Structure 1
């Protein structure tokens, strides 16, 4: 049913029934005017889509248009637009559609391209991080410290900086290995990709604290590798097992021709991959915890097996299954768009849209809201509570967008929704309010945009109206036509009895068809086909004679006009001659010939239901024309015909 609905909506969207500006009135339906402009938009858009030439005639097309509008009238009369299922389906679609109109496409496209360009390279880097002190108001303290740390990282490298500054608590000095786009927070990633190899960045801030990053290397992406391995752990329960000796024994078995996957299942200590013959999930640079393993895998050719290598986990033999280079931008674009909208980059998209809208709307911000909420949050917010005063001013404006006001109460709900996030962080109420006030401002502007999108964006309004009408028509047709035709067994039988002459079988054959690509093989299998009436025996003998990879067998009952049958095939029980048909050579073993006859209702049900639906719809449309008054302005219609013909 879902597929049927989607197909119906897609067909409907071709009509583009938008609420056009008023032009001359072409017709009225129950007193409601329909303009020439609305009609012409629909007519012109569908002109090339209509295959039936008669429907391109204006009078014929006008009849189709009137029928469409009458159905919508009937759907509203029946209250289908108030049905809960209809409302839910419509709102779900509206939410999905709205997302496409609430982001700045230029910014989104730029971020997607930037992400792809970054994915094309791997960065190897180390960094120094001073974790943010929630009580420290002066950010210059951390900044100035990092200026000193930066010199050490630049002159003495990662090891020198780690020995001097790393304490595992407030200061972290870490070797990050290789990484690419989306592997680090966006702010960190951006600084790393803008820093040249061998250089150290200036101090910068992320949600984690204050950093400097040193880029050691920037290399083209190695793509994605899929590999299998056999591992012998360095930690063995059996003290008699020497891991290095064990891995060398396994390697000798491989050299003697034993199967890699079988040996992995028998001897690998990595139980999670052993059951799959040692196969690991595909990985990119920086995704594995062992760069030794990763480098060894990427250095292999497809299907090549490494000599034993040692990592901190154990001894490994690696088999590279395949290496895939990074996919093209067009191939990755849909998934990158999705990642960008889930990533911190989405904040940039929202900010760009809000900045654009701020030039269009009249917006007022009340920064005093931060002062008002500070005592409400203090001492309570991080434990999941609020200190609301007795005289809490719920209706005080925080953000005003045109005539819409977002109040203290709205901001309070926003803060409640964010509360859980901050319960896990070390920060201050003041910093929370600074961050969330700006976020609330952006969300308020976007909320106003969303609620007024129908009035602001004609394309959005048109598509939404199309979908709304499509849902209504689907519900109406299901109720009045489709269900009635399929469930009215008495009416269906009566229609069949009156029209059974239309539903006929041609002459048919029950046949086994043997197909090969050359006449020589067809000649060789003819005697096999001739002497085997049983399909199972036929398959067995074909296989025993080595023809199973050369011959395809097809069985079934086919009508004379079937494309599988050559037109000159003689309908006669037995084995046919060889026919060259559809670029292949065929031998037909005809088991039975079935003469032409009328189809039973069961056999013709699909066609009968479809034809019965058409009859019901014709009768129903005739009743709608009697129910709703339709008046065509013939003078306007005449001018319209002249305009189109010219």
Structure 2
């Protein structure tokens, strides 16, 4: 039901906010509606209207006036101040604003970059020095100095795996020496992936930061991606010579021509796949342990069977069932773009927007008013009156010291300089969002659609739908008066149809009251000109 009301609002809202003409067609309580606004709405909906009568200018004008009366009533009742309405509208606003916070040029570059990386895999080992979530400048410097020392040991000739086992704060380094195997785009956080792909084969990266801390990595392999695979396997879990003997005997059966699938069903110790003939879900690089993946990649022909091999899970035999090569860029573009926009890559795009805004806006920092934050503790600041002094200005908007204090109140340990930079960036984006209605007519138009659609939904709930559903006496009275319009003579047999008709009656009566209680003025000269345009 709400979607229907929102659709009605969309039908009646103007296509653009900037009027092509300021000539007034009609007004409701002195609130004017221009000729151009009505024309755009009318023309937009000509193709959507099935009923030819509804294309009549006079009839369409009546509908549009009714719409404006309802919107006016919703505002007069204060429905726009209801908490639930505000909360839902805020959710819509976030969705509407999101595309404007993205730089399409940088997104396009990242889509192409991601496709290239999907086609080409990289193998890397890493060493991690962790940072606490709310790291101070001292924490950051300590971690950075440590990763520098670690890198110096590696580039001086020490084994990367040895240093990783000794120094890395990634727990897995104790048993894998930091080796992460092969991976491609979207498998790691973007800063890690980016450094891996930009580091030469056998090269060691400079230190770089992710949300986990500081890293260095060594690239130990690069190869073209083979896409995804569908395989079946047989597993003997005993990793000793007993398991080896079992898997060898099963391999001999297969070589003699016995069915791989039947042997898997009878003898495989992977309970999840045995009854499926050993069939595993489709997978690509990084999904399986490296020993398993290497043996799958060695299979070149469909239905080819590997020799027995060992992993940490036991002994395996693998049969290649199907391969799925990488699709063309054109086929993958839409999917990749969705991944870019839903991953941490989006920050790169948002930074591009932020950089543009910093160049576009007149931004000033009141250094003297900032000094107090560098030499006072949070406790001391909380006892002071930080309300009126300006700290930051963005164009004509002034941001007070109090706003920054509220921002840092619960972030006591973090570096004040970094906090202020984050605060400033947030305020720049806030200003951009607030100013969007002035800069982007389509955004303002769409936001108006949602505002009025949500208001109309709540208004119709109160005035029509709830009343028709709960007013059993009124419904019965209406049915008694209109019984001749129905073939069935019992209300309970056609209640849904009667409720629908009752709602229409309630709405018609309500519209009559609205027209009586509001001042509607139509400019007949402009209406006549409008009819001439459409040959009416």
Per-residue deviation, 1:19: 4.9
Counterparts of 1:38-117 in structure 2 under 5 Å? Answer: 38-117=37-116
How far, CA to CA, are the matches of 1:228 and 1:413 in structure 2? 59
Equivalent residue for 2:3, pick from 6, 10, 21: 6
Give yes or no for the alignment of 1:247 onto 2:250: no
How far, CA to CA, are the matches of 1:200 and 1:248 in structure 2? 41
Pick closer, same or farther for the CA change 1:245–1:465 going to 2, 3 Å.
same
Give yes or no for the alignment of 1:211 onto 2:216: yes
How far, CA to CA, are the matches of 1:316 and 1:274 in structure 2? 13
How far, CA to CA, are the matches of 1:340 and 1:370 in structure 2? 37
Deviations 1:442-486 (A, max 9, x none): 112112222333333322211111111111112222322233334
Pick closer, same or farther for the CA change 1:248–1:149 going to 2, 3 Å.
closer
Equivalent residue number for residue 421 of structure 2 = 438
Per-residue deviation, 1:632: 0.9
Pick closer, same or farther for the CA change 1:211–1:458 going to 2, 3 Å.
same
Q: Pick which of 101-110 and 24-33 moved more.
A: 101-110
Equivalent residue number for residue 640 of structure 1 = 530
Check conservation: 2:196, 2:217, Cα contact below 8 A: no
Aligned residues: CA RMSD: 4.2
Equivalent residue number for residue 392 of structure 2 = 399
Q: Which runs of 5+ in 1 are unaligned?
A: 153-159, 378-385, 423-428, 505-597
**Higher strand fraction: Structure 1 or Structure 2?**
1
- TM, length-normalised to structure 2: 0.80
How far, CA to CA, are the matches of 2:79 and 2:66 in structure 1? 18
Deviations 1:538-573 (A, max 9, x none): xxxxxxxxxxxxxxxxxxxxxxxxxxxxxxxxxxxx
Pick closer, same or farther for the CA change 1:33–1:16 going to 2, 3 Å.
closer
Per-residue deviation, 1:373: 4.6
Pick closer, same or farther for the CA change 1:327–1:260 going to 2, 3 Å.
farther
Per-residue deviation, 1:137: 8.3
Counterparts of 1:436-515 in structure 2 under 5 Å? Answer: 436-493=419-476, 495-496=478-479
- TM, length-normalised to structure 1: 0.67
Equivalent residue number for residue 514 of structure 1 = none
Question: Comparing both chains, which one has the higher relative contact order based on Cα–Cα distances under 8 Å and sequence gaps of 6 or more?
Answer: 2
How far, CA to CA, are the matches of 2:243 and 2:46 in structure 1? 76
Q: Which runs of 5+ in 2 are unaligned?
A: 132-137
Deviations 1:201-247 (A, max 9, x none): 6635334436364363231x3333355544333458xxxx8111233
Equivalent residue number for residue 227 of structure 2 = 223
Larger Rg: 1
Counterparts of 1:566-581 in structure 2 under 5 Å? Answer: none
Pick closer, same or farther for the CA change 1:116–1:387 going to 2, 3 Å.
farther
How far, CA to CA, are the matches of 2:317 and 2:404 in structure 1? 59
How far, CA to CA, are the matches of 2:406 and 2:277 in structure 1? 53
Count of paired positions: 516
Counterparts of 1:125-524 in structure 2 under 5 Å? Answer: 125-126=124-125, 149-150=154-155, 161-162=159-160, 168-169=166-167, 174-195=178-199, 198=201, 200=203, 203=206, 205-207=208-210, 208-209=213-214, 211=216, 213-214=218-219, 216-219=221-224, 221-227=225-231, 229-234=233-238, 242-249=242-249, 256-257=258-259, 263=265, 268=269, 280=280, 282-288=282-288, 290-298=289-297, 299=299, 306-318=306-318, 322-326=322-326, 336-337=336-337, 339-341=339-341, 343-365=343-365, 373=373, 388=380, 394-395=386-387, 397-415=390-408, 432-493=415-476, 495-496=478-479
